[in-house]
Every structure is written in structure tokens, then in C-alpha cells.
Amino acid sequence: MNSGNKQIAVIGAGVAGLLAAVHAAELGADVHLFEKMDRIGLKMGITGKGRCNLTNSAPIGEFIAKTPGNGKFLYSAYGRFSNTDLLALLRRWGMETVTERGGRVFPKSEDAQEVRRLFMRKLEEAGVTLHLSDPVHHILTEDGRAAGVETSRGTWAADAVILATGGKSYPRTGSTGDGYRMAAELGHTVTALRPALIPLVCSNAYCRELQGLSLRNVTLTVAAGGRRKASLLGEMIFTHFGISGPIVLSLSDQVSLWLSQGYAVTGEINLKPALSEEVLDRRILRDLAKFHLKQMRNALQELMPHRLIDVILHMSDIPPELPVSELTRRQRANLRYAVQHMPLSITNTRPIEEAIVTAGGISVKEIQSSTMESKLVAGLYFAGEVMDIHAFTGGYNLQAAFSTGWVAAESAAGQGGTYR
Ligand SMILES: Cc1cc2nc3c(=O)[nH]c(=O)nc-3n(C[C@H](O)[C@H](O)[C@H](O)COP(=O)(O)OP(=O)(O)OC[C@H]3O[C@@H](n4cnc5c(N)ncnc54)[C@H](O)[C@@H]3O)c2cc1C
């Protein structure tokens, strides 16, 4: 391993590590990429439900806004390698992409495996030495700077080390959180780890009854301690344990934080967020008039999905068999209220292993945002989810991994960074 070129060890052949390894090698470094699994990019292969939502077409300001976990720290990395840079690179590499609703960008093949194969080819072309099934246990230092890695097969000397071991979720993909320990051994602070983009556990029995039912154009509001509140309009689904789906995942970061702070968290679903109380009342009266010879159970199918009717009637204290003609004004008010305020008692998130992304990680205060270099250990660089960064769904997490991987590679290879 000694050609006179810079020797770089990259730990983790995930999204960030793969781009970092290829780019550092293209810049002339001798790169050794260590991966604990027997294949590269296992998590990449399951992203975007197997379609790989590579990035988003939104402007960079939107990326920062969609990154509740230290978005501003990424400004500099996005300035150096943005979503348009990524798309231009993929085009040069021969991969076509398509942009879908919400600016989400996917490979045209809609196959995440194509992205893995592309990186496999680029590793070979760039001359990266790939060490599969070779977990790194420790980062070696000498005189306060990174000097190599210790793996299960021995030690490797290097001028620079890029730590790209990912978060702690979906451990079967290899992301088991090893990087946190390795960084902590060198004095880095690891902020509290918790799941983000995670389904929520609710104690309400009706969630289980409605399991599999998805709702569109509803508002979910979550609240803690009276004053803390957040709300989103969109799609969600009931599950055997509670709730999931896009708006649930997006609100889950907030909920996970409140729960970790010890707050009791409640939620509310508004099935008709576009209607004022008066308009909803008129709508209900119209339906009741139309179905005036029926029982209540059979009078609401135009207002809500069939499976919801009994649940909403129960919440409104209305027997499902009640003839429509016997509904009291009070019961109608109850019904109106239940449609716009379905209560949820949120007791927990699903475990971190099931999270799309890990909140928390290596403190960004100890990382140079323009180079991704450690402020504590010279020659040590970080890339991807191992850092305390996390974003919403929409391609923002992959772009964060790509951008930080790119910058770490340039800095470690001594191009545009502060390589010492
Ligand atoms: C189901 C799912 C779907 C997702 N979909 C999307 C999506 O469509 N778009 C999006 O933007 N984000 C998505 N994400 C999030 C995204 O996948 C991650 O944020 C991203 O993969 C982080 O990249 P990374 O390189 O930091 O870590 P990873 O991709 O997790 O890679 C880390 C690598 O390091 C290796 N490793 C760990 N420890 C060691 C060790 N000790 N030695 C050697 N190697 C080690 C691991 O095996 C792994 O290969 C999804 C996540 C999940 C779980």
C-alpha cells in the first residue's frame, strides 16, 4: 500500500463511503474501502421502496429547511456538491434519472440495484481496493492524527481516514452504529441517538381495528405539554401498532424528541381539514337527508371510508343501528366533532432499528463543515448519517450522504480541503 500517493482508508461502503472512495481515487489517492458486509450498499438497495430516491430537485434552501437535524451545517457541502452536481455526475456516468411528484429524483430504471451496480463499476474503474466482509474495529492515530484502521484481518496504515459507517437503523444492512463507538474512542461527542422517520405506536384500540386503511388529504396534529404542536396535511395509514405513512414519518422526528424529553404526546386526525365546522355540518345534513330511511351505519359512506364509519359512530356515542331520523342535534354535533378530531394517544415510536434515519450522532460542533474534517483528530473525516444530521423523506438524506462524502474525499485527498 505505498505508491507515493495519498493513502486513504474509507470505512463503510454505503452511500457516503462509496462516493467518497470513488472520488478520492479519481483525485489520485490510493483508496482502500472497508465494508463489514459481504456486499456494498445494502441500505442503498432498499431505499425509496427499492427505487432509490436519489435526491430532490428543490433549491438548496429547501434542502436545509427539510433537514431538521443540523441542516445549516450542510450549507457548505451543498455549495461544493449540490443536487444538480449529483445529477450531472450520474449523467456522465451513464445513468438516466426521472423527477417525480414533490421533486423526488429516481433512476429512470426505478431500480435501486442499478445504483449499486453503477458504484461497483465505478469502484473498479477508479482503482479502489475493496475489502468486503472486513469490519473496522478501531481508527488508529499517531501524534494526534489519523494513521490507519484496525480491522478483523489486521491493521492498515493510511494518511487519512473517512468514517462513513451510517446510522443505527436497519442493522441487517450493516448499519449497526459502529462508527459512533470508534469516534467516541477518539474523544468525539456522540449526541443522543433516537429514531427519526419512524412509525408511531398508539394505545387506541381502533388503530388496530383499522389496520391497513390509508387516508389521503387528512391533517394529523401532534401535541405535547399543551403548547408544543405540529401539524401536517397528507397521507397516512393505520397499522397493527398505531400509525405510519408519509405525514406520520415527517412528524415523527418531533414526536420522538418530545417523548425523549418525557412529554406525554397526543394526536388528532382531521378527516375533513378543508371544511369549516359549518360547511361540514351542512354536508352531514345533506347526507342524512339523502339516506333518511337508513340506519346511521349506512348513511355515512359518502362522507368517509366504509371501515371508518363504526369507529367514528362509536366516538360520537351514536349506536350504528340508530335510524337516521332519530339522530339528535347533540349526536350530530358529536359526529361533526369526531370527524375533525379523531383522538390519538401516542405512547412511543417504533424501535430505532426500524427507523428510516437515525437522529443524533457525531456532534457537528466537532466537525469542520467546509471540509468534513474532525476538529479533534487531524486527517479524520466524516461523511453521511454517522454525523448528527438527519432530514425528511424526499431524497434529502441521500443527498446529504453524497455531498458530505464528496467533500470528505476532496479534503482527504488534499484537493480544496485543509489537508495537513
Ligand atoms: C428503508 C429505508 C429507505 C430509505 N429510503 C431513502 C430514500 O429513498 N432517499 C433518501 O434520501 N434516504 C433514504 N433512506 C435513508 C438513507 O438510506 C440513509 O440516510 C443513507 O443510506 C445514509 O448513508 P451512509 O452512507 O451514511 O450510511 P449507509 O448507507 O447506512 O452505509 C453505511 C455502511 O457502513 C458499513 N459499516 C458499518 N459499520 C462498519 C464497520 N465497522 N466496518 C466497515 N463497514 C461498516 C455498513 O455495512 C454500511 O454498508 C432510507 C433508509 C431506509 C432504512
CATH code (residue 114): 3.50.50.60
Residues with CB under 6 A from ligand 1: 11-17, 34-37, 42-44, 46-48, 52-53, 135-136, 164-166, 169-170, 174-175, 178, 356-357, 384-386, 395-398, 401
pTM here? Answer: 0.92
Predicted pLDDT at 420: 30
- 417 in a structural domain: no
The answer to whether residues 75 and 183 belong to one domain is yes
* Through-space distance between the first and last CA atoms of the chain, rounded to whole angstroms: 20
Beta strand residue intervals within 101-213, DSSP E: 104-107, 129-131, 136-142, 145-151, 154-157, 160-163, 194-196, 200-202
Q: How many domains does the chain have?
A: 2
Looking from the CA of residue 386, the nearest atom of ligand 1 is: 26
Task: Provide the CA 358 distance to its chain's centre, in angstroms.
Answer: 7
- Could you tell me the distance, in angstroms and rounded to a whole number, from the CA of residue 360 to the centre of ligand 1? 15
Report helix, strand or coil for 305: coil
**312 falls within a domain:** yes
Last residue of a domain, one of 309, 326, 349: 349
Whole-Å CA distances, 120 to 87, 141, 233: 18, 30, 40
Residue nearest to atom 27 of ligand 1 (CA): 166
Q: Of 140, 31, 189, 146, which Cα lies nearest the Cα of 378?
A: 146
User: Does 374 lie in the same domain as 229?
Assistant: no
CA 281 to chain centre: 39
Q: What is the chain's pLDDT, residue by residue, as a tens digit (420 residues)?
A: 456 799 999 999 999 999 999 999 999 999 999 999 999 999 999 999 999 999 999 999 999 999 999 999 999 999 999 999 999 999 999 999 999 999 999 999 999 999 999 999 999 999 999 999 999 999 999 999 999 999 999 999 999 999 999 999 999 999 999 999 999 999 999 999 999 999 999 999 999 999 999 999 999 999 998 778 999 999 999 999 999 999 999 999 999 999 999 999 999 999 999 999 999 999 999 999 999 999 999 999 999 999 999 999 999 999 999 999 999 999 999 999 999 999 999 999 999 999 999 999 999 999 999 999 999 999 999 999 999 999 999 999 999 999 999 999 999 998 543 333
Question: Which residue, judged by its Cα, is nearest atom 51 of ligand 1?
Answer: 356
pLDDT for 100: 96
Answer yes or no: do 318 and 379 share one domain.
no
Q: State whether 300 and 381 are in the same domain.
A: no
Within-domain flag for 82 = yes
* 73 domain-assigned: yes
C-alpha cell at 120: 461497483
Which of 328, 349, 370 terminates a domain? The answer is: 349
Residues 30 and 159 in one domain: yes
Q: In which domain, by residue range, is 93 found? A: 7-193+359-412
One domain for residues 176 and 213: no
- Say if residues 408 and 79 touch (Cβ distance below 8 Å): no
Please state, as a whole number, how many other Cβ atoms lie within 10 Å of the Cβ of residue 171: 12
The angle subtended at Cα 236 by Cα 62 and Cα 111, nearest 5°, is: 65
The Cα 272–Cα 217 span in angstroms is: 8
User: Could you tell me if residue 420 is inside a domain?
Assistant: no
342 lies in the same domain as 204: yes
Residue nearest to atom 24 of ligand 1 (CA): 166
Based on the fold, state whether residues 64 and 108 are members of the same structural domain.
yes
Same domain, 139 and 277: no
- Residue after which a domain boundary falls, among 320, 349, 378: 349
Distance (Å, rounded) from C-alpha 385 to C-alpha 383?
7
Tell whether 418 is covered by a domain.
no
Residue 2 lies in a domain: no
Do 328 and 343 belong to one domain?
yes
- The rounded distance, in Å, linking the Cα atoms of 127 and 411 is 19
- The one-letter amino acid code at 128 reads V
The Å distance, Cα 42 to ligand 1 centre, comes to: 8
How many angstroms separate the CA atoms of 338 and 317, rounded? 10
Q: Are residues 373 and 271 in the same domain?
A: no
Q: Tell me, yes or no, whether 354 lies in a domain.
A: no
- Contact, 190 vs 385, CB < 8 A? no
Q: Among 10, 23, 36, 43, name the best residue to mutate to test ligand 1's pocket (greatest count of ligand atoms within 8 A of Cβ).
A: 43
Are residues 189 and 165 part of one domain? yes
At 228 the pLDDT is 87
How many angstroms does the Cα of residue 175 sit away from the middle of ligand 1?
Answer: 6
**Atom 23 (ligand 1) nearest CA:** 15
